[in-house]
Structure 1
Amino acid sequence: MKRFLKRLLTHDWKTARVVHHAVLEAQDSQYAGPQEPLPEPIMHALHALGIQSLYTHQAAALDLLRSGRHVVVSTATASGKSLIYNMAVTEALLQNPHAHALYLFPIKALSRDQWDALNTFFAALPGATPLTAAVYDGDTSDRQRALIRRKPPHVLVSNPDMLHYALLPYHAKWESFFRGLRYVVVDELHTYRGIFGSHVAQILRRLQRITDLYGARPQYIFLSATIGNPGELAQKLIDQPVETVAHSGSPRSRRHFVFMETEGPLASLAARLTQDAVRSGLKTIVFTQSRRMTELVHMSLVRAAPDLAPKVSSYRAGFLPSERRSIEQGLAEGRIAAVISTSALEMGIDIGGLDVCVLVGYPGTIMTTWQRGGRVGRSGRESAVILLPQPDALDHYIVRHPETLLNGSYETAVIDPDNSAIVAAHLPCAAAEIPVHAEEAAHWASPRRQALVSATHGGTLVQSEDGRKWFATASYPHRGVDIRSVGPSFTILGPDAKDATRWIPIGTTDGVRAFKECHPGAVYLHRGRTFVVQSLNLEKRIARAVPQDAEYYTWVVSKKETEILEILASKPCTAFMARLGRLRVREHIAGYEKKRLFTQELLDFTPLDLPEQVFETVGFWVEIEETIVEKIHRASLHYMGGIHAMEHAAISVFPLFALCDRNDIGGISIPLHPQLGKSAVFIYDGYPGGIGLAARGYDIVESLLERTLDLIESCPCDEGCPSCIHSPKCGAGNTPLDKAAALEVLRYLLGRKPLGSETDKEATREKTPVLEVAAASASKPEPAIGFLDLETQKLAQDVGGWNNKHLMRVSVAVLYDQRREALEVFRESDVAALIDRLHALDLVVGFNIKDFDFQVLQAYTPKPLQHLPAFDMLEALQEQLGFRLSLDHLGEKTLGRRKTADGIQAVQWFRENRWDLLIAYCRDDVLLTRDLFFHALEKGYLVYEDRSGKRLRVPTPWNLEKILQEYGQKEDKKRSILKRRRSAGV
């Protein structure tokens, strides 16, 4: 390893260079025992396998399982997670030989590998009672399946696909198995995210219906690579509380992480590094991002070093099961010294101790990077991981910011168990297994109940005469549900190699992507071969493709529109508004371009006549104020090119925050959105109904834009390139793009540059707040009346003027509840509760409340605050006099009390973290407002002083009952109008 590293770090690689070298020091083992000793047979088996002690995380997980909890263990690769569930399951089987366990793995190779490990563990147990295990997957013969169903083993090893298609639909044939089901093991939890994870959540809910039917209450054991939210993800999958074990006690050997850059072909550099490693006696694994790259690296290596050909192999999907297992065995036994693989080998298949991992392209997530890098160093020896970036924005961001990978937090895995399309697809499956009862549906969440209604209206479910049960109209609806996609899928057919007149399935794709990937003329890759699509039948949902050596790839050109259907959440950020909502996305594919491989030279454009695609999803968006637009135009920069570049870069770095790839999300930049009346950049889930990614993006939107700015700033190019603002998925052909404009927009949005510096009276004038009267004054009225005032985090000049009050953000708000005689203080994190309180009041009273307080608060809610019953004292006095008076002036002249500070001072206190002074000032303003209001009601006037110094009365013919009645009638009228609009479908 020392010899290899010295050459790697000092060699002149001509077109490549080492950018960063990090050394991760070794970590010692941490051991612990469970609270109660393990049964003697299990201790005997552990010792027979060379295991003398348990790691701390293994003991902690075992204790939780023994207490009856559902558990997720999220620790690094090779930390002994499989031993946890094998021990727990074995202990249960020793206590009850009629019990069963179900092991679920996402891929067949891992199922077989873990089945072997389980059999080894069972074989090490002493005694005459054998425990049995069997694999039930797509490679299991019909004869074996029948035998397994007839006499189920103690442990059934399978995958979510077989559970969906073969076990749950025929649960009556598995009755004894389900009755005795004690544990359900879900390994590689991190793979159950996005669309696949949302489907698996429905499958596991259906499994729970089956086990409930047979009286079983199995515990769930989840195993995951290190992710940001293992407990949350596991809980969403089964809709039950799950305990998390995340601290690992397993050892870690010394590891080197080397970041490189190259201007030459990636395949050649990867092959040279692999050759050097193998000749240094180091077992090596190369991970690539595509089947094509896998074969290119393998081919380059064999051509450069023919003598190594017997010792190296590629490994990817498409190989026969026997080929894959032969390669795995060759690695484990040492006959194969290097393997070049796609993602197929990143999971816990036992391939022995490896020393070097070469990553050809950033794997897309921090979690996957460590998962793949964790394949080396298992033998306790020093190891190395080498990252070679592809010409992609995210790849180059990681190489230029290695601390993001080395010190950053792990991404969040996102699913949406309430995705309407997915729920509607699984409800007929559930009803075909066990009829859905009204009592059961009554406890469902609203989206699930709505999906039940939709499925009934759509004809996939039918109700009983009494309306208490739902049945599936199809006898086996499961075959129509592809758990790897959403909505109806397209089948891709290719000619049979043995009979060219016969067409056979070679792949599938979901409806959203079919137009982009399977249009006539599209290049489609399958098993390392290049196909060109001949035809796309939209009615039969079939694409026909023929083999063809194509030295180009295809890229669709499209136009998109986004319609806002509903705003779900809203919040002010540094210098922009962020909102989350339901969207309707319309996309029309105008044609496709042919581009030469590697050089990306444009060869041709072909128009297409395809129907417009329309789907509803969830998205978040950043609203950009006109102030910023004007500044970009005044700087002679291309504004549309700027927000378009910002959209591309934001999508590129999005996977740093959520486990996804660029294909899972879409975006659109709009200089003037007709519904918003301003510019906006939208990012949305690329699947109908949404899968939770947009909600995650809304939560971290400011951090996302910070990373976006870092990406663009750190790229050395002058005008933009694939490493920063170009997108390989752009439907507009990466035009227009303006790197300089994108940087300026982001700097304004994130407060790096001020929106304005107005110094006129309007910009610096203090906002007249609101205070309240002592509880002793005035008799307590029966209606629920609240007096409100708030202070902000920013001044008008900080956000570009008073037109942008929605960007000023709440620092503190005070509400006086007249009926309860209580003051309530709200900070920004409490604004949602404040808004709920305001909606519960009969009347909200304030000073300048409509033009200021509500404008600031509106940024935090999609509910229109102008509908609230509110009495604005400043508005009423201005109508009476024709000019404005300040709260400070009225308080001094009427009550002899002045305001204790002003809005500028309040912002300064906020910045200094002086909450005591800030809250006291806001509270005093509320009390002052309330005193003036009741003085006006009782005396019929307030006092002010004119410019000549005369003290005068302003009449206040305000009547509380009339005010309440007037606003009550207004609300009744609004409700009536809204009801008519809803009934008309508006």
Structure 2
Amino acid sequence: MNRFLHALLTRDWKTARVAHHAVIPAHPPRYGRLQRPLQRALTQALKSLGVSRLYSHQAQALEKIRDGRDVVVATPTASGKSLIYNLAVAESLLEDPDGHALYLFPIKALSRDQLESLHQFFRAIPGPKPFSADVYDGDTSSYKRAKIRKDPPHVLVTNPDMLHYALLAYHDKWQSFWSTLRYVVVDEMHTYRGIFGSHVAQVLRRLQRICRHYGSAPRFVFLSATIANPAELAERLIERPVQVVNEAGAPQSKRHFVFMESESSLSGLAARIAVLAIRGGLKTIVFTQSRRMTELVHMAISRSAPDLPPRVSSYRAGFLPSERRHIEQALANGRMAGVVSTSALEMGIDIGGLDVCILVGYPGTVMTTWQRGGRVGRSGRESAIVLIPQPDALDQYIVHHPDAFLESRFETAVVDPENEAIVKAHLPCAAAEIPLTREEAAGWTEARRLALEDLTRRGGLLQSEDGTRWFSPSARPHRNVDIRSVGPSYTILAPHPSKKGAWIPIGTNEGIRALKECHPGAVYFHRGQTYVVRSLDLEKRVVHALPKDADYFTWVKSEKETEILEVLASRPCANFVARLGRVRVREQITGYEKKRLFTQEVLDFTPLELPEQVFETVGFWVEIEEAVADKIRRAGLHFMGGIHAMEHAAISMFPLFALCDRNDIGGISIPFHPQLQKSAVFIYDGHPGGIGLAARGYQIVEPLLEKTLELVEGCSCEEGCPACIHSPKCGAGNTPLDKTACSLVLQYLLGRRPLFEEAASLTVEDPWDAVPLEDEPAPEPRKPAIGFLDLETQRLAQEVGGWQNKHLMRVSVAVLYDSRTEDFHVYREDEIPDLIGRLRELDLVVGFNIKRFDYAVLQAYTPFPLNSLPTFDILEAVHAQLGFRLSLDHLGEKTLERQKTADGLQAVRWFREGAWEPLIRYCTEDVALTRDLFQFALEKGFLVYEDRSGNRLRIPTPWNLEKMLGK
């Protein structure tokens, strides 16, 4: 290792250099003690396996499991997590030998690998006969499956796919297993995010339903890599509270993390470093970000070191199971010294002791980086991780901020169990297993109940005559539900090497990705061989590809547009409003470019005629005021290029906040959106129905834009490059882009630059004209309840460009007097959703200039149309009577002999000084004044004002409360 590191750090790599070398020191183990010692048989088994003491996290987790809790253990790779659930299950079986456990692993290779470890552990437990364990998956023979069903082992090892297709679909054949199921172990929980996680959440709900049917209530044990929200993710998967253990006590050997910079081919540099390590006797794994890069690195190793190909292989999704199994075994027994893999090998398959991990491209998340890096350095050996960044914004950000990466928090794993398309796919499966009932549906979320109603209307579910039960029209709807995607899967066929006219499968692809990567003329890579797609059959979902020695790759171009279907949430942020909603995205692939390998030189463009892709999803968007566009245009910059660059850069920074990759999210920048009547940048979930990423983006939109600005301003290029604003998936070919405009747009949006010039004298009143206002009919009341509302803002009108931009002024404090409780309720900005909820409960809301001002400010916080609330505006009524306006201060003084104690300008000052007490007191006094004027007008039939000649005059107030309340 020392020789390798010395060569790596000191060699002249020509077009590459070492940007940073971090040494992560080893740390010793921390042990824990159980309150009740393990049974002697388990102590002896551990001793025979070389385990004398439990690490602190192992002991802590085992105690929680013993207490009957559902538990999630989120600790680093190789920290001994599997021992936790094996001990818990073995302890349970020693007490009740008739019990069972279900182990779920995300991939078959991991299932079989863990089975060997489980057998070894069970054999070490003294006794007449070891506990049984077996794998039940797609590779299990039909004979073996029948045997397992008839006599289930103590531990059944499988994957979510098999649980969905075989175990739950045929649950009646597993009755003895379900009725005695004590534990469900869910390993690699962090992989159950996005679409896959949303499917698995539904599968686990169905599993619990089956268990209840057979009288069991198993405990769940989740194991995860380190993520920011392990409890939240586990609880969303099973809809139950979960206890967390995330402080690891396992030791860690010394690690080196080397950050590289490269100006040339990534595959070539990765190949040279891999050859250096392998020839130095170090077992090496190279992780890439794409199937294409996997094959390019493998080809580069073969060309630069002709003696190594027999000892190095590529490994990725799309390989046939037999190919993957052969490679895994060759790595484990030492016949193979290196492997080039996509994410397929990042999980804990035992592939022998590895020493060097080369990351070709930042894996996209902190969690995944350490997960892949954790594949090396086990058994106490010193190890090295080498990161070679792609010419990509996120990669370059990481390499130029290595300390920020090394010290950063782990990301949030996002899953949406309520995805409409996925819920509708699984409800018929659940009904086919056991009919759904009205009683259980009563406890569901609204989204699931709506899905049930829609399926019933469309015939996807059949309702009983009495309306209390639902049945599936198909006996086995499971086979039509692919739990790893929401799009159709395509099979890629190539000519048989020896049978003329015959075709064999060489891989698979799915959804719109298949159209982008397997269109006619596309170059497809497989295990070092290049193919060119001859045909794409959309109906049969079959791709025919011919082998060809191509020195280029292909990249599609497309056009997109979006339509807002429903606004779900809204809030003001600095100089913009952010909204979350359901959107419809249309994408039309227009053609593809041929680009030369390694140099990416564009060779030509070929048009394509493929069907338009339309899907509904969830997105968030940043609304950009016309004032921003004016500023950019007056500066002589390209506004569309600026917001287009902002879209690219924001998407590239998104994985810093949530576990995702580029294929999970999409974006559209629009200089004028007809529904919004202004420009906007949309970022949306790239899967129908949404998977929760847009909702996460809406929550962190300001930090996201801050990181985006940091990226753009920190890049040394002049006009934009792949390290900041270029996107490798841009359907418009990265045109137009304007880096300077992007930086300015972000500065204006975030308030770094004043968007509006402040007036010479700041005023408070809204200078509206005397145009008569139309009456708005009030909806039918629910019960007599009147609220009096007033609010103060964080900013003055002149600071947001005038009164037409009240939606940007933001609330500092709002006060509501509720006639039901006769109390004043105070709301700060983060409590505005509670205020809006309370307003919607009232039969009447009363305010002074409430419709034109208070509601205009509040509307930025909610998609609910506030003007639809039953509202009485005193200023509006006075204006209708007199034809001109009077201030609240004037009416209060002349009618009640009470004056306002301050004004809006002072209120803003108090907010900025953090003087909450006088601010709240002032707002409360205004509410009390509004209430008392209203009550005076109702009782006396008039209000009092003074004209310019000093005459005190009455304003008739023929206001009828019952009429206001709709009675």
**Smaller-chain TM-score bracket:** over 0.9
Counterpart Cα distance in 1 of 2:561 and 2:423? 27
Between the two proteins, what is the percent identity of the paired residues?
Answer: 70
Q: Displacement, 1:945?
A: 4.4
Q: Does 1:965 align with 2:963?
A: yes
Distance 1:280 1:748, change over 3 A: same
**d(CA) in 1 for partners of 2:387, 2:171:** 47
Alignment of 1:765 onto 2:764: yes
Matched, 1:107 2:107: yes
* C-alpha distance 248-155 of structure 1, shift in aligned 2 (>3 A): same
Counterparts of 1:894 and 1:107, CA distance in 2: 77
Instruction: Tell me what 1:916 maps to.
Output: 917
| 2:57 maps to 1:57 | yes
Tell me which residue corresponds to 2:790.
789
Q: Deviation at 1:374?
A: 1.5
CA distance in 1, matches of 2:842, 2:303: 79
SS at match of 2:966: helix
Map 1:816-835 to 2 at 5 A.
816-835=817-836
The DSSP-based 3-state class of the residue aligned with 2:557 is strand
Distance (whole Å) between structure 1 residues aligned to residue 450 and residue 943 of structure 2: 55
- Equivalent in the alignment of 1:251: 251
* Residue 588 of structure 1: how far off its partner (Å): 2.4
Unaligned runs of 5+ in 1: 769-781, 970-986
Deviation at 1:60, TM superposition (A): 1.2
Q: Which residue of 1 aligns with 2:343?
A: 343
- Aligned to 1:200, the other structure's residue is in SS state helix
**How much does 1:301 deviate?**
3.9
Task: Provide, for residues 562-585 of structure 1, a one-character-per-residue CA deviation record: whole Å limited to 9, x for no partner.
Answer: 111111111111111111111112
Q: Distance in 2 between matches of 1:503 and 1:956?
A: 90
Q: Any idea what the Cα deviations from partners look like across 1:26-55, whole Å, max 9, x if unmatched?
A: 322211112221111111111111111111
Contact 1:767 1:902 in 2 (8 A): no
In the alignment, is the contact (CA less than 8 A) between 2:299 and 2:528 conserved in 1? no
The 1-side partners of 2:552 and 2:531 are apart by 11
Q: 1:551 to 1:456 in 2, by over 3 A?
A: farther
Any residues of structure 2 matched to 1:58-73 within 5 Å, and which?
A: 58-73=58-73
- Cα displacement (A) at 1:465: 3.8
For 2:733, the equivalent position in structure 1 comes to 733
C-alpha distance in structure 1 between counterparts of 2:925 and 2:509, whole Å: 63
Q: Please list the CA deviations of residues 877-901 of structure 1 after superposition, one character each: whole Å capped at 9, or x if unmatched.
A: 3333433333233334444433222
- 1:744 deviates by 0.9
Shift of 1:664: 1.2
Structure 1 residues 220 and 341, CA, compared in 2 at 3 Å: closer, same or farther?
same
Aligned-residue offset at 1:956: 2.8
SS of 2:379's partner is: coil
Shift of 1:796: 2.1
Task: Indicate how the Cα distance of structure 1 residues 242 and 587 shifts in structure 2: closer, same or farther if over 3 A, else same.
Answer: same
Counterpart CA distance in 1 for 2:494 and 2:329 is: 33
Check the 8 A contact 1:420/1:689 in 2, yes or no: yes
Shift of 1:789: 1.0
Distance 1:474 1:501, change over 3 A: farther
**Shift of residue 459, structure 1, vs aligned partner:** 3.4
Structure 2 counterpart SS, 1:29: coil
How far apart are 1:954 and its partner, in Å? Answer: 4.4
Structure 1 distance, partners of 2:472, 2:938, is: 66
Give the Cα–Cα distance (whole angstroms) in 2 for the partners of residues 538 and 337 of structure 1.
41
Alignment of 1:239 onto 2:251: no
Which digits, 9 at most, give the CA deviation of each residue in 1:916-953, with x for residues without a partner?
12211211221222233333444444444445xx4333
Equivalent position of 2:884 in the other structure: 883
Residues 942, 957 of structure 2: 8 Å contact kept: no
1:506 Cα shift?
4.1
- In structure 2, give the amino acid aligned to 1:435: P
Q: 1:597 is matched with which residue? A: 597
Instruction: Report the 3-state secondary structure (helix = DSSP H, G, I; strand = E; otherwise coil) of the residue aligned with 1:131.
Output: coil
* Structure 1 segment 33-44 matched on structure 2, within 5 A: 33-44=33-44
Provide closer, same or farther for how the CA distance between residues 307 and 519 of structure 1 changes in structure 2, counting only shifts above 3 A. Answer: closer
CA-CA distance at 1:347 after TM superposition: 0.9
Question: What is aligned with 1:953?
Answer: 952
Which consecutive unaligned segments of at least 5 residues does structure 2 have? 768-782
Give the 3 Å change call, closer, same or farther, for CA 8–672 of structure 1 in structure 2: same
In the alignment, is the contact (CA less than 8 A) between 2:314 and 2:339 conserved in 1?
yes
**For residue 860 of structure 2, what is the aligned residue in structure 1?**
859
CA RMSD of aligned residues (A): 2.4
Once the two structures are superposed, the pairs formed by residues 495-534 of structure 1 within 5 Å of their partners are 495-534=495-534
| 2:295–2:527 contact (8 Å) kept in structure 1 | no
SS at match of 1:683: strand
Q: Report if aligned partners of 1:937, 1:957 keep a CA contact under 8 Å in 2.
A: no
Give the distance between the partners of 2:719 and 2:64, measured in 1 at CA: 56
Is 2:393 the counterpart of 1:377? no
Cα distance, 1:316–1:559 mapped onto 2, change above 3 Å: closer
Q: Which residue of 2 aligns with 1:718?
A: 718
Map of 2:869 onto structure 1: 868
Counterpart residue identity of residue 532, structure 2: V
Match of 1:984 in 2: none
Question: Would you say the 8 A contact 1:512–1:687 is kept in 2?
Answer: no
Give 1:367 deviation, angstroms: 0.7
Change (3 A) 1:13 1:509: closer
Using the alignment, how far apart are the partners of 2:309 and 2:539 within structure 1? Answer: 48
Shifted more, 406-415 versus 693-702: the winner is 406-415
CA contact (8 A) 1:485 1:509 kept: no
Distance (whole Å) between structure 1 residues aligned to residue 820 and residue 797 of structure 2: 34
> Is the contact between residue 414 and residue 692 of structure 1 (CA under 8 Å) also seen in structure 2?
yes
SS in 1 for 2:378: coil
* Correspondences of 1:241-640 after superposition (within 5 Å): 241-278=241-278, 280-301=280-301, 303-305=303-305, 312-317=312-317, 328=328, 331=331, 336-640=336-640
Equivalent residue runs for 1:164-243 within 5 Å = 164-243=164-243
| Corresponding residue for residue 123 of structure 2 | 123
Q: 1:605 to 1:274 in 2, by over 3 A?
A: closer
* Partner Cα separation in structure 2 for residue 835 and residue 366 of structure 1: 38
Superposition deviation, residue 325 in structure 1: 5.5
By how many angstroms is 1:376 displaced? 2.4
Give the TM-score normalised by structure 2: 0.94
Indicate the larger mover: 363-372 or 350-359: 350-359
Say which is worse superposed, 545-554 or 789-798, in terms of deviation: 545-554
* Pairwise CA distance, 1:624: 0.5
Is the CA contact (8 Å cut-off) linking 1:278 and 1:337 kept in structure 2?
yes
Task: Determine the C-alpha separation between the residues in 2 that align with 1:373 and 1:574.
Answer: 39
CA distance in 2, matches of 1:325, 1:836: 57
Aligned to 2:776: none
Conserved? CA contact 1:354–1:379, under 8 Å: no
Q: Give the residue type in structure 2 aligned to 1:826.
A: Y
Deviations 1:452-503 (A, max 9, x none): 2333343333333444333322232222111111144444444344434234
Aligned-partner residue type, residue 354 of structure 1: L
In structure 2, do the counterparts of structure 1 residues 211 and 939 end up closer, same or farther at CA, with 3 Å as the change threshold?
A: closer
Cα distance in 2 for residues equivalent to 1:610 and 1:339: 37
Is structure 2 residue 94 aligned with structure 1 residue 94?
A: yes
- Residues 290-313 of structure 1 deviation map (CA, whole Å, 9 limit, x = unaligned): 344334434444554556666655
Structure-2 residue corresponding to 1:659 = 659
- Inter-CA distance 390–161: structure 2 relative to 1 (3 Å threshold): same
1:11 to 1:952, Cα distance in 2 relative to 1, 3 A: farther
Change (3 A) 1:787 1:470: closer
Change over 3 Å in CA distance of 1:677–1:954 after alignment to 2: farther
Question: More displaced, 285-294 or 170-179?
Answer: 285-294
Other-structure match for 2:777: none
Instruction: Tell me if the contact between 1:766 and 1:904 (Cα under 8 Å) persists in the aligned partners.
Output: no
Report the counterpart of residue 22 of structure 1 in structure 2: 22
Relative distance call for 1:532 and 1:333 in structure 2 (3 A) is: closer
Letter of the 1:424 counterpart: K
Change (3 A) 1:819 1:438: closer
Q: 1:936-951 maps to which residues of 2 (within 5 A)? A: 936-947=937-948, 950-951=949-950
User: Aligned letter for 1:920?
Assistant: R
Question: In the alignment, which residue of structure 2 is the partner of 1:982?
Answer: none
Is the partner of 1:968 in helix, strand or coil?
coil
Paired position in structure 1 for 2:779: none
8 Å Cα contact 2:297-2:340 kept in structure 1? yes
